[in-house]
Amino acid sequence: MERTRPNILLTGTPGTGKTSTSEELAEKLGFKHLNVSEIVKSHNCHEGRDEEFDTYILDDDKLIDTMEPMVESGGCVVDFHTCDVFPERWFDLVLVLRANTDVLFDRLTERGYSDKKRNENMESEIMQVVVEEARESYAEEIVHEVQSNTVEDMDSNVERMVSWVAAWQANNA
């Protein structure tokens, strides 16, 4: 697949800042922000809800078929809390956002998560579940882990990505 612009995957535990960072980044770059949770709902890429875990049961094949035409020409910032469902070939860069436990606690509480759901997500962040998933799913040189605790972190992550995209485009022109 030839792309003139790269695709970036922003992943991380819920509450680490994927959507806020993706929105800012996509706007700066003039890229499309693909919020995968919204695509799952709007295109019905699920097989109902898992009531125990309070999440959708993903229909992976339908999700991939739905997203393929959206990502094929590049220029996408893809935002999702899990990263092993996508074909490896889609992404030129994978950014894993991290947050400290106390920060995540406050953000998930503010979001109105149940104690159970909040605890599961905090445990997942502590256990580095998404980082490991990213390292297993993509080439190690394209996976980067960054802190997302403060607004300064977010700004620096966005700036870093903007520079990276400029370099990518210079190399792939």
Going by the annotation, the residues of the binding site are 15, 17-20, 111
In whole angstroms, give the CA distance from residue 84 to residue 147.
Answer: 21
Say whether residue 19 binds Mn ion (CB under 5 A).
yes
Distance, CA of 34 to CA of 67 (rounded, Å): 9
Nearer to ligand ADP, 38 or 88 (CB): 38
Q: Residues comprising the binding site for ATP?
A: 15, 17-20, 111
Q: Residue 68: what residue type?
A: E
Name every residue whose Cβ is closer than 8 Å to that of residue 86 and which is 6 or more positions away in sequence.
Answer: 9, 64, 67, 78, 80, 137
Residues numbered 42 to 71 that lie near Mn ion (CB under 5 A) are none
124 binds ligand ADP (CB under 6 A): no
Residues found near ligand ADP in the complex (CB under 6 A):
12, 14-20, 107, 148-151, 153-154
Contact residues toward Mn ion (CB under 5 A) are 18-19
